[in-house]
Amino acid sequence: MSQLSRRAFLGASITTVSTTAFASPLLDFLSSDSAAAEVFGILQTHLQISSADRHLVQPFLRRLRTPGLHTESPATFQAWLNRAPGYEVNLAAYVLEEFAVASNFLAVQGGHESKLKILPS
Amino acid sequence: MADIKLPQNDDQQKRAAELAGAGSIYKYNHDIGLPLIDTPGPEDKNQPDWTLKIFTKLLSIRTNIQAIYEKTGLKFQEPKPVRDIPKLIEVLKSDGSVSDYFAPDLGFVAGPDNRAKAVSDYVDKVFVDRDKDNKGSAPLPDMATVWDSDKTFAYNFLAGPNPNQVERYRLETRPADFDITSLDLGSLPEFGGDSMARAIGEGRVYLVDRSDLRALFGNLPNAPAPNASPRVFKTEISGEWKYIYAPYVAFALPPGGKHILPIAIQCGAKAEGHQVYTPRDGYTWKMARACMLAAHNNHHEVVTHLGLTHLLVDPICMATRLRLHTSHPIYKLLSPHFEGTAAVNVGARTGLILPERSVDRLVGSKIEMDYPYLGGQRLGYSFRANFPKLRQNTRGTDNATLLPNYPYREDSALIWDAIHNWVSDYVSIWYRSEADIRADFELQAWANEINDIGKVKDFCLTGGGVQGRDDLIDILTMTIFTAGPQHAAVNFPQGKEMIFVPANPLAGYGQAPKGLGHSEADFLGILPPLDVAVQTWSILSLLAGVNNTRLGDYRGAFNWHPVSEAYRLKFRVNLGVVEGNINSANNYRRSVYGLDYVHLLPSRIPASVNI
C-alpha cells in the first residue's frame, strides 16, 4: 500500500462522501487503505510513531468510526475533508488528540509502559 | 511475606538508613500556613490511567466551550480554545499544560450580556453541547429540573456537597442570634397544626450555622471599596461585586414526614438588619436560599473539601513516607490510599488556589481571606471527634426517626463499617499482641509525626503514639475513610449537584435581601454571572469528571500474600453488599427526593484523593 498525500486523501474523501448522506460513505472511506495511510502519516510526522506500529492504525480508525468514541461528528470531519477553513491543523490535531486517548501513548511517553497499543474501548 | 516486616523484626540499621533517604526527599512546606508536602516523591506519581482520564475529560470540556463560543453570543476576553499542533505536541510530550491547552482561563464577559435574564440562561448558555437526548459533552444534571423546590434545597444539606453540617436545634445550644422559637410553624405548608415548641421539644428541628464565615470578614486583603460594608468586596478581575454571607438555616421534620424541609433562613446578624424569612416569602425566600447555599458552598470548597480531605490527608501521607519503611505493613496498606495526593495538592497550591485563579474566581471569599480561615478550621479539626458516627451523635443527627432519609449518614455508616472490618482483619495479621504495637517504633514515630509536626489534632490520644490495636484500627479506618469515601462525598457532587449554578451557587453577586417583596430580577441578581457559570461548569466538570482508582483495589499489592489477599477479597465482597444496599435505598430515595445519592456507591469511590 503506497502512502497517499494529504491532497490525494482529501480528494478521495470528497469523491466518496455524499453531502446529504455522508455517514455510510465516510465510514467506508475511513476503512480504506488511503485513510489508513493518511492517519499513519500524521502519527509518524508528529509523534514519530515507527513503522512497526503501523498495525495500530486500523483498530484506531475503527474507534473513529464508532459513535461515542470520538469527539467530532462525521459532519465536522467531513467539513475538514472538504477543506473547511483550518482543515489542515484540525485534521492532524484531531487525529493526534484522538490517538492520545485511544492508545497508551501517554503512558509510553511517561515511561510507564514500553509497547504502544490501542486501548480497549 | 519476606517483603513485609515490622521494624522490630528486621534489620534496623538498614531500615533506618533507607528512611533517612526519604527524609532527604520529603520536606514540609508552610506557604499557606499548614504543614504540607513540598514536592511529590517518586511514590506520589499519578499512574497513566489518571493522565488518560484527565486528557479525555479535558477534550470533552473543550467541545462544550467551543459550542458556547459559537452558539451563545457570549464574548469572553480570551479567544476560543482551538486546536494548535505545536502546543498539542508539547502537551503530548509532557512539556505543556494539558488544562491550559484544552480548557484555558476564558477571562470575563463584559457588559449586561453577562447577567442571566432568566434561569433558563444557565441552561442554554452553559450546557450547550447536548442533543435532544441530553447527550454530548455537557449533559444537563438532574438537579437542573428539581433545584427550585424546598425539598431539593433540604436535600443539598443531606446528600449534597457539604453533607455533614446539619445539627439539631437545641434551645440550650442554639445560636443566640438565630431565635426561631416564636416562628408560626403551623402556618407553613406541610406543618399544619404543628408548633415550634412541640417540634423543638420532640427533636425535629435542625439547623446549619454558617455564621462561622464571619471569621473571613476580618481577613479582607485590602480596604473594601468606599461604599462597601466589611463583608462586601469587588473582585479586581471581573469588576463584579461578590458578597459573603454569614447566614443560618433551620429545617424541621413535619409530623409523620419523610424528610425535613427548610422553615427559616436569616442571612446575617440581626444587628445588621437581617430578619428571618420563611417559605411564604416568595422571591425574597429564594434569595435567602441562594445566600445560604453560597455561604454553605464557600465553606464546602475551602474547608470541607480542600481543608478537611486534601490537606488533612497530606500530612498523614507525609509521615507515612518519612517514618514508615516501605516494607512496613501499614505503609503497604496506606500507600495506595495516597496515590496522586501529593501531586494534586502541590498542583492546587501552586495553581488552583493561588490568587485570581480558579478557586479565587469561583467562591465568594478571596483566597487571601481563605488562608487564615482555612488554617484555623483545619488545625482546629479533631481527627477523632469526627469519626462519622461520633460526629453525628454529637450533632444530634444520628436518629433515623427524627431525621429520616439522610443519605450521607446512611451510606457513610455502611462504608465505615466495611473499612473498619477490613482494617481489623489486616491489623490482626501483623500485630498479634498489644506488645507488637508498643514495640513498633516506626509506627509510634509515624503517629507522633502526624500529631505533632503534621498538626492533625487528636490523631494521638493523650500520651501520644498508637496505644493499641483498637486505637490503630480506628485511626487507619478514619485515614482511609477520609482519603476515599469522604473525599468522594465532597468532590463528586461538584459534577452533579453544584455544576448547575442556580441549584448551588458558589458565591453571591447581590446583597442579601432586606425587607420583603423582592422580585425575580433581585433573585437573578444574586446568582453568579454567566462567565462565572461557564467557568464553574468547566472546572467542576474536570474535578468531578476524573474518577480514578477504586476503594478495595490495591493494584495487586497483596497478591503475593494469601492471607492479606483473602481479607482484601472479603473487603471487596462486603463493599459489593454495601453497593446493593445503597442501590436499594436509592430506589426509595428517588421516590422521596426525585434524586439518587450515588457518591458513596463503592463502585464510584476512589481509593485516594487524586483530583
Determine the residue of chain B that is closest to A112 in CA distance.
Answer: B48
| Residue type for position B139 | P
Q: Which of A80, A106, A112 to mutate to test the interface with B (most CBs of B within 10 A)?
A: A106
Distance from CA of A120 to the nearest CA of B (A): 13
Of residues A15 and B601, more confidently modeled: B601
The C-alpha atoms of residue B184 and residue B188 are separated, in whole angstroms, by 8
Report which secondary-structure segment, H or E, holds B250.
Answer: strand B248-252
Using CB atoms, pick whichever of A104, A109, A113 lies closest to residue B93. A109
pLDDT of residue B329: 97
Residue with cell 509515624: B446
**Residue (of B109, B57, B93, B146) closest to B532 by Cα position:** B109
The C-alpha atoms of residue B482 and residue B288 are separated, in whole angstroms, by 32
CB contact under 8 A, B84 and A110: no
Distance from CA of B201 to the nearest CA of A (A): 56
pLDDT of residue B238: 61
Which residues in B lie closer than 8 A to residue A97 (C-beta atoms)? Answer: 59, 83, 88
Using CB atoms, pick whichever of A71, A89, A93 lies closest to residue B60. A71
3-state SS record for B491-525: HHHHHCCCCCCCCCCCCECCCCCCCCCCCHHHHHH
Which residues in A lie closer than 8 A to residue B92 (C-beta atoms)? Answer: 47, 96, 100, 105-106, 109
Task: Examine the pLDDT at A32 and tell me if it is beyond 80.
Answer: no
Distance from CA of B93 to the nearest CA of A (A): 6
CA torsion sign for B430, B601, B387, B504 is: positive
Range list of H helices, B79-131: 85-92, 98-102, 121-124
CB contact under 8 A, A92 and B85: yes
What count of Cα atoms within 13 Å lies in the side-chain half-sphere of residue B192?
2
Using CB atoms, pick whichever of A86, A97, A112 lies closest to residue B47. A112
pLDDT of residue A62: 84
Confidence (pTM): 0.93
CB contact under 8 A, A96 and B85: yes
CB contact under 8 A, B137 and A100: no
Beta bridge pairs of residue B261: B252
Report which secondary-structure segment, H or E, holds B29.
Answer: strand B28-29
pLDDT of residue A20: 37
The 3-state DSSP composition of chain B as helix, strand, coil percent (nearest 5) reads 50, 5, 45
Of residues B480 and A65, more confidently modeled: B480
Which residues in A lie closer than 8 A to residue B88 (C-beta atoms)? Answer: 93, 96-97
Which residues in B lie closer than 8 A to residue A63 (C-beta atoms)? Answer: none
A118 CB contacts (<8 Å, ≥6 apart)? A56, A59, A60, A63, A102, A103
Task: Examine the pLDDT at A14 and tell me if it is beyond 50.
Answer: no
Q: Which of A63, A70, A101, A115 to mutate to test the interface with B (most CBs of B within 10 A)?
A: A101
Which residues in B lie closer than 8 A to residue A67 (C-beta atoms)? Answer: none
Range list of H helices, chain A: 6-16, 23-30, 33-47, 57-65, 74-81, 87-102, 105-109
The C-alpha atoms of residue B3 and residue B1 are separated, in whole angstroms, by 5
Confidence of residue A35 (pLDDT cuts 50, 70, 90): confident
Q: Which of B52, B63, B87 to mutate to test the interface with A (most CBs of A within 10 A)?
A: B52
CB contact under 8 A, B48 and A104: yes
pLDDT of residue B360: 83
Confidence of residue A1 (pLDDT cuts 50, 70, 90): very low
pLDDT of residue B235: 57
Using CB atoms, pick whichever of B63, B82, B94 lies closest to residue A110. B94
Query: What are the C-alpha distances in Å from B317 to residues B22, B231, B322, B479?
Result: 12, 36, 9, 10
Query: What are the C-alpha distances in Å from B4 to residues B10, B331, B426, B446, B507?
Result: 9, 9, 13, 17, 49
Which residues in A lie closer than 8 A to residue B56 (C-beta atoms)? Answer: 101
pLDDT of residue B420: 98
Residues lower than pLDDT 50 in chain B: 1-2, 223-230
pLDDT of residue A90: 85
Of residues A85 and B84, more confidently modeled: B84
The C-alpha atoms of residue B56 and residue B49 are separated, in whole angstroms, by 11
The C-alpha atoms of residue B445 and residue B465 are separated, in whole angstroms, by 7
Across chain A, which distance is largest between two alpha carbons, in Å?
A: 46
**Residue (of A9, A35, A19, A2) closest to A79 by Cα position:** A19
Q: Count CB neighbours of B366 within 10 A.
A: 23
Q: Which of A26-30, A38-42, B19-23, B38-42 has the lowest mean pLDDT?
A: A26-30
Q: What would the grid cell of residue B540 be?
A: 467542576
The C-alpha atoms of residue B221 and residue B243 are separated, in whole angstroms, by 15
